[in-house]
């Protein structure tokens, strides 16, 4: 059975080192993590573009809900997400919108705080912690769950089980977690789709679907 480290090495050799998450500021990462819920990333990009380069915590806080909803409409579920953006921005305000101040707290403390914010689930919390604040927490998404089932990895079937599996079997390294998540996503889009595209897959020799 393939290990987590070997899986990473195979994906890295095939796709190369990826630069993720696409954002100009840590706050834009936070906004993107909320907006990408239940939608494709290109819709998030449209919503962010509507801010015309002025995507700041102060602007989000001062916009009324109708105006904010209009800006983020391309990302879908815009009424809910406007509420979520206000809530996550209020959380960030507790730290004076300062990344270094956030990082003074422990990872466990911050994760618990984020999970208490309206609209923030485990994947969103981990994405914010990893990509906005450079803290070593592994992000699990639908691509990760699907890949673990198909290889398979003995990682379990629930979010925290899979997250714990990767964190126990890999060094606690921000860049590694960042790149591994990005590699899993691109692999999920190119090969390990709901209807898999097995030709040219770098994991063809390890996939339980194909090994009889």
Domain ranges of the chain: 4-19+138-190, 26-132
Distances (CA, A) of 19 to 16, 23, 147: 10, 10, 21
CA–CA gap between residue 98 and residue 26 (Å, rounded): 10
Q: Name every residue whose Cβ is closer than 8 Å to that of residue 191 and which is 6 or more positions away in sequence.
A: 197, 198, 200, 201, 202, 203
Is 97's pLDDT higher than 90?
yes
Distances (CA, A) of 59 to 45, 68, 78, 128: 18, 9, 17, 19
CA–CA gap between residue 21 and residue 102 (Å, rounded): 19
CA–CA gap between residue 82 and residue 66 (Å, rounded): 9
Is 209's pLDDT higher than 80?
no
Domain 26-132: what homologous superfamily? Hypothetical protein; domain 2 (1.10.340.30)
For position 15, what pLDDT does the model report? Answer: 96
CA–CA gap between residue 89 and residue 139 (Å, rounded): 21
Least confident of 24-28, 75-79, 101-105, 150-154: 150-154
| Cβ 141 vs Cβ 123: under 8 Å | yes
Q: Name every residue whose Cβ is closer than 8 Å to that of residue 108 and which is 6 or more positions away in sequence.
A: none
Tens digit of each residue's pLDDT (9 = 90 or more) over 121-165: 999 999 999 999 999 999 999 999 999 999 989 999 999 999 999
Instruction: Provide mean pLDDT across the span 178-183.
Output: 96
pTM above the 0.85 mark? yes
DSSP 61: H
Cα-Cα-Cα-Cα torsion 57, 63, 65, 69, nearest 10 degrees, comes to: -80
Q: Name every residue whose Cβ is closer than 8 Å to that of residue 72 and which is 6 or more positions away in sequence.
A: 35, 47, 50, 78, 81, 82, 85
CA–CA gap between residue 163 and residue 142 (Å, rounded): 12
């Amino acid at each position: 059975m393939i290990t987590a480290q070997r899986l990473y090495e195979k994906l890295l050799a095939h796709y190369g080192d990826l630069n993720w998450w696409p954002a100009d500021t840590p706050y834009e990462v936070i906004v993107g993590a909320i907006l990408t819920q239940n939608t494709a990333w290109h819709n998030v990009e449209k919503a962010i573009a509507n801010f015309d380069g002025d995507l700041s915590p102060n602007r989000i806080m001062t916009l009324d809900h109708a105006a904010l909803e209009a800006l983020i409409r391309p990302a879908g579920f815009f009424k809910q997400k406007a509420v979520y953006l206000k809530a996550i921005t209020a959380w960030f305000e507790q730290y004076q919108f300062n990344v270094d101040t956030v990082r003074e707290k422990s990872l466990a403390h911050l994760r618990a705080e984020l999970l208490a914010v309206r609209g923030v689930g485990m994947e969103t919390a981990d994405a914010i912690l990893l990509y906005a604040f450079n803290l070593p927490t592994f992000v699990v998404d639908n691509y990760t769950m699907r890949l673990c089932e198909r290889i398979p990895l003995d990682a379990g079937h629930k979010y925290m089980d899979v997250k714990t599996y990767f964190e126990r079997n890999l060094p606690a390294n921000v860049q590694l977690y960042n790149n591994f998540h990005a590699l899993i996503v691109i692999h999920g889009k190119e090969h390990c789709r709901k209807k898999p595209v097995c030709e040219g897959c770098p994991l063809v020799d390890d996939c339980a679907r194909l090994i009889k």
